[in-house]
Copies of this chain bind each other. A is one copy, B any other.
């Protein structure tokens, strides 16, 4: 059973719950992107994903990508599907019209990537970095580089990588040792070894553009010494550059995506942006990239739910409690509370997370294009605070919720045949990459909430509760938002005396923030009647975690 996108469910959240049409209508570049056009784009996207990409997911897992003599062969069907994908214009959905893009709102691209990830996480890793690379080049590269690469990457004709991690430098990029040595012609000789490079080498496209973080000869130690280099696999004159794939990793899952060890051996590259401002050049893509990882989580969980829901409606075991439900010797397992509860809970996770993630997509569009500076500020606030939260909670739930969905299958879930265990394996990496979930928590609490005494967080909560499209927040949501303000104030106070304390409870704080945001989303869904799943499931099975997290934070704060 392949994943099947459900455009109606998504449209209902985008347009009915979030009022996307009205939100986007005020943004100049999207004046022509009315609801009908956006609906049509989503219908077409759903078709493409379901027909061209989803059926390849099992092949992505096995045989997966193969490595031999420096070359990576992607699984059968991957290249034709990718070629069809870029030629149909999908990677360029929200790229600028100037660069061959369609200039549509980024939020549509969010939905597209959620579905692609649900359908085939491994395949989707290939174009997953495209938009970020495009934005990075567009905003920071020289005109000459833009001329040569922007359109190729905007359209997806060539794929791109981000070469950040080194064997000893993972979460701590400041330790990176890759060097770039200036040449008389303005280019650089780039040397160093990068690991965990998704799509560092493959056969999907005719060229691969590497964005490589490294140091100039005179650079200081630490993150401020990092510059960004563009290193193509093939040079403009057709020669092969000295960018070598030494091996691909044997991983827990995601075998459809080659995770490469890349060795740059005096490869030719060009500087993107200012020397020493490499991290800055990459940060333009960070919120979008993290949002995309959150959307991967949502998609993977939806895919797991689809499988488990279908299985629960065909498998019979034992009598369910209550009145006899079937003349057969056993009832459908969906009629067993333990199974129904799993499915209701994961459905509620998908639906509420979608509200948060799509709103974040809208806020990114608004932050870029709204005419009003205050509105842009509010949008940036939302993106800054909510992005680490959803990156963490959605990827956490993808893995843990997919494991719950596996449980619905009993022993059959543990064998490969049903495809559910692949989702568990594939999804696990999303809790790690684009900043581990522990780093997201530190980003939220230590870097964003505490430094201004909680002011930004409080402003976000004000926005959330005062939302004009919203009749009146429920008393429970108001109380929980107030509890979040209160515990924030306590953290601010304790932090002044002991700055290490926050690091112990950052994970809890992120979960509390996430649960309040999700409660807002659940209330929104309930008010709009757009929720396909059990409307009580969020309150019943998910929200109670909030009290536990609060108790843990408080007990830590009380320890001297």
Contacts and interface: CB of A to CB of B under 8 A. Distances in A.
Given A544-B552, A547-B547, A407 B431 contact: yes
A2 B149 CA distance: 48
Contacts of A337: 500, 503-504
Contact of A172 (B317, B417, B437): B317
B432 A411 contact: yes
A252 B321 contact: no
A252 B252 CA distance: 10
Q: How many copies does the complex hold?
A: 2
A252 B425 contact: yes
A268 interface: no
Interface stretch (A24-32, A33-41, A76-84, A398-406): A398-406
A556 B544 CA distance: 12
Contact of A551 (B174, B321, B544): B544
A515 to B, nearest CB: 11
A336 interface: yes
Contact of A548 (B252, B411, B544): B544
Grouping DSSP codes into helix (H, G, I), strand (E, B) and loop, the A interface class, with mixed when no group exceeds half, is helix
A330 interface: yes
Contacts of A259: 415
A406 B425 contact: no
A555 interface: yes
A169 B506 CA distance: 46
Interface in A140-190: 165, 168-172, 174-175
Interface string A249-274: 11110000001000000000000000
A196 interface: yes
A414 interface: yes
Contact of A170 (B411, B502, B507, B547): B411
Contacts of A338: 438, 441-442, 503, 506-507
Given A503-B321, A552-B544, A329 B414 contact: no
A316 to B, nearest CB: 8
Contacts of A22: none
Contact of A410 (B411, B417, B432, B539): B432
A526 interface: no
Interface in A408-462: 410-417, 421, 424-425, 428-429, 431-433, 436-438, 441-442
A217 to B, nearest CB: 19
A316 B413 CA distance: 38
Contact of A428 (B168, B406, B417, B436): B406
A540 interface: yes
From A341, A411, A428, name the one whose CB has the most chain B CB atoms within 10 angstroms.
A411
A545 interface: yes
A238 interface: no
A371 interface: no
Contact of A400 (B174, B316, B400, B548): B400
A550 to B, nearest CB: 9
A171 B410 contact: yes
B541 A552 contact: yes
A532 interface: no
A70 interface: no
A548 B431 CA distance: 24
A338 B510 CA distance: 13
Contact of A403 (B172, B399, B415, B417): B399
A421 B500 CA distance: 30
A251 B499 CA distance: 46
A253 B322 CA distance: 37
Contacts of A316: 168
A221 interface: yes
A506 B321 CA distance: 13
Interface in A321-356: 321-322, 329-330, 336-339, 341
A424 to B, nearest CB: 7
Contacts of A322: 499-500
A415 B251 contact: yes
Q: Which 8 A-B pairs have the closest CB atoms?
A: A252-B421, A548-B548, A321-B500, A338-B438, A337-B503, A172-B317, A250-B416, A172-B318
10 contacts: A172-B330, A251-B414, A251-B421, A252-B415, A252-B424, A337-B503, A337-B504, A338-B441, A407-B437, A544-B555
Interface of A: 165, 168-172, 174-175, 195-196, 221-222, 249-252, 259, 316-318, 321-322, 329-330, 336-339, 341, 399-400, 403, 406-407, 410-417, 421, 424-425, 428-429, 431-433, 436-438, 441-442, 499-500, 502-504, 506-507, 539-541, 544-545, 547-548, 551-552, 555-556
